[in-house]
Structure 1
Amino acid sequence: MPDTSATHVACDSAVPRRQLGRLLRDLRQGAGLTLDQVAQLIGVGRTTVQRLETAGTNRIDLEDVEAFCQACGADDLMTEALMGLAQGGDPKGWYHRFELYLGLEAVAEVLTDFNEIVPGLLQTADYARAMYRIGHPNESPSEIEQRVERRMRRRRLVVRKLRPVQLNVVLDESALHRVIGDRRTMQAQCRHLADMSTKSNVAVRILPYSAGLPVGELTGPFAIMDFGSRSDDEPVERSLVYVENYRGAMYYDDKDEVRAYRATHETLVHAALNPEASRALLRRTARKYECER
Structure 2
Amino acid sequence: MSASPRPSVRQRRLAAELRRLREERQLTGDDVAAELSWSTAKVSRIENARTGARISDVRRLLRLYEVNGPHHDELIALAEDAAEKGWWEAFPSIGPEYAQLIALEADARKALCWENLVVPGLLQTESYAREVISGWQIVDTLTPQEIQRRIEVRMRRQQVVERQPRPLELQVVLDEAVLRRRIGDAAVMIEQVSHLLRMSTLPHVEILVLPLDAQQRILGGSFTLLEFPPLYDAPFPDTVHTESLTLHYLEDERETNMYRLAHHHMRQTALPPEESRLLLDQTRDWWTKPRE
TM-score (norm 1): 0.69
Q: Tell me the distance in 2 between the aligned counterparts of 1:23 and 1:262.
A: 26
1:103 is matched with 103
AA aligned to 1:101 is L
Q: Tell me the distance in 2 between the aligned counterparts of 1:267 and 1:18.
A: 28
2:58 is matched with none
How much has 1:280 moved relative to structure 2? 1.2
Q: Tell me the distance in 1 between the aligned counterparts of 2:109 and 2:103.
A: 12
Alignment of 1:6-25 (within 5 A): 16-17=7-8, 19-20=10-11, 22=13
1:280 is matched with 278
- Cα shift readout 1:118-157 (whole Å, capped 9, x = no counterpart): 0000000000001111113632322211111111111111
Work out whether 1:198 is the aligned partner of 2:201.
Answer: yes
How much has 1:161 moved relative to structure 2? 2.4
Aligned positions, number: 230
- Contact residue 109 and residue 226 of structure 1 kept, 8 A: yes
Structure 1 unmatched ranges of 5 or more: 1-6, 8-12, 25-46, 61-71, 87-92
- Contact residue 240 and residue 251 of structure 1 kept, 8 A: yes
Query: Secondary structure at 2:10's aligned position in 1?
Result: helix
Alignment of 1:177-216 (within 5 A): 177-215=180-218
2:239 is matched with 240
2:33 is matched with none
AA aligned to 1:185 is V
Tell me: higher relative CO, structure 1 or 2? Use CA pairs within 8 A at least 6 residues apart: 1
Identity, % of aligned positions? 34
Query: Secondary structure at 1:98's aligned position in 2?
Result: helix
AA aligned to 1:79 is G
1:222 is matched with 223
TM-score (norm 2): 0.69
Alignment of 1:235-274 (within 5 A): 235=235, 237-244=236-243, 246-274=244-272
Larger Rg: 2
- Cα shift readout 1:151-193 (whole Å, capped 9, x = no counterpart): 1111111012221000110111110011001100000000100
- Contact residue 187 and residue 286 of structure 1 kept, 8 A: yes
Work out whether 1:153 is the aligned partner of 2:133.
Answer: no
Q: Tell me the distance in 1 between the aligned counterparts of 2:14 and 2:197.
A: 33
1:67 is matched with none
